[in-house]
Amino acid sequence: MNVTVIGSPKCNLHDMGADHPEQPSRLYQINDQIIASGLEYVVHFADATSASKQDLLLAHDIDFIEKVFSSSPVENDERVWIDDDTIMMNKSLDAALSAAGAAIMAVDTVMGKQSKSAFCATRPPGHHASKGASAGFCIFNNIAIAAKYALEHYHLARVAIIDFDVHHGDGTQNIIEDDERIMFCSSFQHPFYPFSGDEPTRKGILNIPVPAGTKGSEWRELVSPWFQQIDEFAPELILISAGFDAHAEEDMGYLRLVENDYVWITQELKALANKHCEGKVVSILEGGYALSALARSVVAHLKTLAME
Ligand SMILES: [Zn+2]
């Protein structure tokens, strides 16, 4: 089997309110498109287990982890704002632990060669969560936990994270900044939330700020320098922060990507994975809020991962 899609019903129950863009219908739409496209017969599905506090400690400070656990509401109708954009209700902690657990399971799935690649169809997303804080709809940083877990548990020396969400993966950069075993490539609309990514940083962190209105063909040229650097780095695992909010139909950002651009970047990264790490790719859903565009883009991404 080429692709395992990992999810959990618990991820559907985290609900920040009907007006909040990071909503359960994102996963329902993705699931619908997977069925409508016939991909359901091609991919393998797995249920995520929950991450433990020990797993969370790979990327987060203990004080922050305890704060999230103690903020978790007990009552059904209680809502707690844990930062300006992120709300917890009584199902949110379970969803966040499932999303982080799925990321770890995805690493186990590809490292154990059950499938070449794994995609986490999970929420909440993670790439804005830093060592010590939630932010921007993200509670725990799923991709950073996956990267650190791969390094520690499988004793890898080099992993690469590629983040093509419309927003800079500031939380991921915060967590991996002093860990040279991790290469981090992020392209993002700039200037734009979270208004980071344009400052000088260490070798191995490749930020590509992209102006609003940029089309797919222009974006491809801007991010192409990544590939030679990833090739030279020779990662033993490639991880993708797969946010689809740079899509042209998206109201949350102003880039102009379409499904074919996601096919292209997936092909490029798969070719590098085939060259350096027997095709091992772990991809984790980040943003994407225009529901139809999101679901079509995920299907395009999965079809590309599934191709021989
Ligand atoms: Zn985003």
Q: What is the pLDDT of residues 178-224, one digit of tens each?
A: 999 999 999 999 999 999 999 999 999 999 999 999 999 999 999 99
Catalytic member of 14, 60, 128, 247: 128
- Give the pLDDT of residue 56: 98
The answer to whether the beta carbons of residues 26 and 294 sit under 8 Å apart is yes
Among the listed residues 168, 153, 244, the one whose alpha carbon sits nearest the alpha carbon of residue 201: 168
Give tens-digit pLDDT for 72-105. 999 989 999 999 999 999 999 999 999 999 999 9
- Give the chain's mean pLDDT: 97
276 is catalytic: no
CA of 178 to the centre of ligand 1 (A): 24
- Give the pLDDT of residue 297: 98
Higher pLDDT, 42 or 282: 282
CA of 26 to the centre of ligand 1 (A): 13
| Mean pLDDT score, 279-306 | 98
| Mean pLDDT score, 162-171 | 98
- Residue 1's pLDDT band, with cuts at 50, 70 and 90, is low
CA of 135 to the centre of ligand 1 (A): 11
CA of 229 to the centre of ligand 1 (A): 24
**Per-residue pLDDT at 284 exceeds 70:** yes
Give tens-digit pLDDT for 297-308. 999 999 999 997
CA of 13 to the centre of ligand 1 (A): 21
